[in-house]
Chains A and B, each alone.
Chain A
Amino acid sequence: MLLACMKSEQLKMRRSNIWIAFLILPIIPAIMGTKNYLNNLAILSSEWSSLWTQETLFYSNFFFAPLIAVCCSYLWRMENQNKNRHMLFTSPVPVRDIFLGKFVSIIKITIAVQLWIYLLYIVSGKLVHLPGFPSMQTFYYTLRGILGGMVIAALQLAFSMVIRSFAVPIVIAIIGSITGLVASNSCYGAYFPYSLMMLGMNANKTEDMLSGNGAVFFISSLFYLTLICLIAILILKRQDVNA
C-alpha cells in the first residue's frame, strides 16, 4: 500500500513547476558562499575545506529549511484544495501510508537537493580555480546532512499537514533555522531538530563538529524522525477529515 501511495504522490507531482525552485534557489547560497570565500581569502586558507564552510553557511543555515517547507506546504496544499482530502482518506490505503507516501517524496527531494548543492560546490570550486577535488569528508558531510535534513522535512510535513496555510509553516521554518543556528553553536545542538542538518553538514566549520559525538547525532536524528512520524500519523488517525 505504501508503494501505491508513493506512486500516487509521484503522479500528483506531474506537471508541477516546484522543481524550478529546487534548481534555482540553491544556486543563490552557492554564489553567496563563493563570493564570501573570495572576499576573505586571507583568513580562509584551506581551499576546498574553506569553500565548504562558506557555501554550507548560507545553504544550511538559511536556505534548506524554508525550501523544504515550501515543498511540504505544496504537497498538502494539493490535498487541501478541491476537497482532495475526502478522496485521499476514502481511498483503501492505511492512514499511515498516506503520510509516509508524502514523506518519501520529500526524502527524495531532500536527497536531490543535497546532491545538487554538492555538485554546485564542486562547480564553484573549479570556477575559482581550486586545485584537484575536495576530500571525501565533504561528501560524507553531505550524506549526514541528508539525515539531518530528513528530520526537518518530517517536521515541516507535519506542520503543513496540521496548519492549513501555505505561508505559516514556511515562517516556522525560518524561525527554526535561526534558532537552529543558535542551538548548533551551543552544546545542545544535537537535541534541537532544526540544528541537526547544520551539524550534519558541518556548516561553517573546518574541523568536524561531530567528532567523537557522532552517535548522539545519529540517535537524536532517528529519535526525532520516528517521534515526528508517529505523532503525525496519530493526529491523522484521530482527527476528523475536513476538506
Chain B
Amino acid sequence: MNKNSFVIQTTNLTKAYGKSGQTKDVVNKVNLAVPQGCIYGFLGPNGAGKSTTMKMLLGLIKPTGGEISILGTPFVSQGKTALNEKSRLTILKQTGSLIESPSYYGHLTGRENLEIICTLKNVPTKEISQVLSIVRMENQQDKKVGHYSLGMKQRLGLASALLGHPKLLLLDEPTNGLDPAGIQEMRELIRSLPENYHMTIMVSSHLLSEIDQMADYVGIINKGQLIFQDSLLRLHTHSKKQLRLRTGNNNRALCVLNENKINCTMDKDFLLFPETSDDETARLISALVQEGISVLRIEEYQKSLEDIFLSLTGKQVSL
C-alpha cells in the first residue's frame, strides 16, 4: 500500500510516565498505519494504552518519543517531541473527536453547545441542523444537556465531532455506558459514515465483538504494545474451522495418518486437522478403523475471535 494512503501513521510512538530511572511506558513504540476511508478498530483491554495513544494523535498528550503523521501533515517529528502549533491546528481543522465520555456544558442546550463548537471550528451554524439530523437529535436540541441521558449526550458528542465535515474521526469507546439499543444505533451510525461522508474513522473499544461488527481494519494493543495490525479479514483467517479427533491411541493414530499422507497435528488429547472435506474425513476415519484404533470423539472446532484475542494478549477480555 502506498505510504501516502495512510491517514494516520505513527513510528515508534511512545509515552512514558515517571521520573528518569523509573519510567513506565504506557505506550511503547507503536507503529499505527490507518488506511484511508476505513473504519480502524483499535482494540485492547482496559488500561492497554488506547486512550493515551488517541490523545497523543490529537495533541492532548505530548509523546515522549516517536513520530506522528496525520492526513499527510507531520505532527511530531524525529527528536522534536514539542508539538508544532501550526501542524496541530492544520490537523485539528480536519479532525473530529470524541474522547472518553462526551464533553458538554450542562447549563446550555444541545444546540447552544454545538454553536460554541461551530464558533471555535469556524463552521457556519447552518451545519448544526445537518449533524443533528445525522444523529437523530432534532427533537432534543432545545433541552439543556444536563438533562440528557447518557445515550443522548454520546450522540451529541458525535454530532459535535461531525461539525465541519472532518476527514478523520477519532472515537474513543463511543459505546461505553450505552444500553444495547443505544450500542446498536451508535454502531450503525458509525458504520454509515465512511461511505456517506468519505471519512476515515478510528474507533477504540475493549470489546472484541464490537470491533468485529464495525471495523475493516484492526489494531490490537496490549500493555502499550501493538501486537496485531491488519485487516479484520486477516484476523478471521486465524479462526478457520478445524476437525478435532480423539482416539484410543493418539500416537499410533498420528503415525497411521502420516503414512496415509493425511495432514494433522497433535494438540494435547486431540488430533487437529485443518479444513477437511467430507471425503477426506471419511478416508481418515476408515484408515484409523482399519488399523484397529478406536475413535472416541470427532468434532468440528472453530477457534473463536476471543480465543485469538486471548492468545495474542494473554488476558481475558470483558465481553
Contacts and interface: CB of A to CB of B under 8 A. Distances in A.
Interface of A: 4-5, 7-8, 11-12, 14-16, 78, 81-95, 237-238, 240-241, 243
B99 A90 contact: yes
Tell me which of B99, B103, B106, B112 has the highest count of chain A C-beta atoms within 10 A of its own C-beta: B103
Contact of A92 (B100, B102, B115, B120): B120
Contacts, number: 84
A84 B104 contact: yes
B61 interface: yes
B136 to A, nearest CB: 21
A241 B89 contact: no
B189 interface: no
Nearest to A98: B120
A100 B62 CA distance: 22
A241 B105 contact: no
B62 A240 contact: yes
Contacts of B119: 4, 7-8, 11
B288 to A, nearest CB: 62
B92 A92 contact: yes
Contacts of B107: 15-16
A140 B105 CA distance: 39
Given A89-B60, A240-B60, A82 B103 contact: yes
Most chain B beta-carbon contacts within 10 A, residue among A87, A91, A93, A237: A87
B267 interface: no
14 contacts: A8-B120, A11-B112, A82-B102, A82-B106, A83-B99, A86-B99, A90-B99, A92-B121, A94-B85, A237-B85, A238-B62, A240-B62, A241-B55, A243-B99
Given A8-B119, A92-B122, 9 more contacts: A8-B120, A12-B105, A15-B108, A78-B105, A83-B99, A83-B102, A84-B103, A90-B58, A237-B85
A89 B59 contact: yes
B266 interface: no
B60 A83 contact: no
B116 A86 contact: no
Contacts of B103: 82-88, 243
B97 interface: yes
A87 B58 contact: no
B120 A5 contact: yes
Contacts of B105: 12, 78, 82, 84
A12 B108 contact: yes
Contacts of A7: 119
Contacts of A86: 60, 97, 99-100, 103
B97 A14 contact: no
Closest 4 CB pairs of A and B: A87-B103, A91-B120, A92-B92, A241-B60
B60 A90 contact: yes
B69 interface: no
Interface string B76-104: 00000000010001001101010111111
B262 interface: no
Given A14-B112, A241-B61, A91 B117 contact: yes
A94 B97 contact: no
A16 B146 CA distance: 14
B205 interface: no
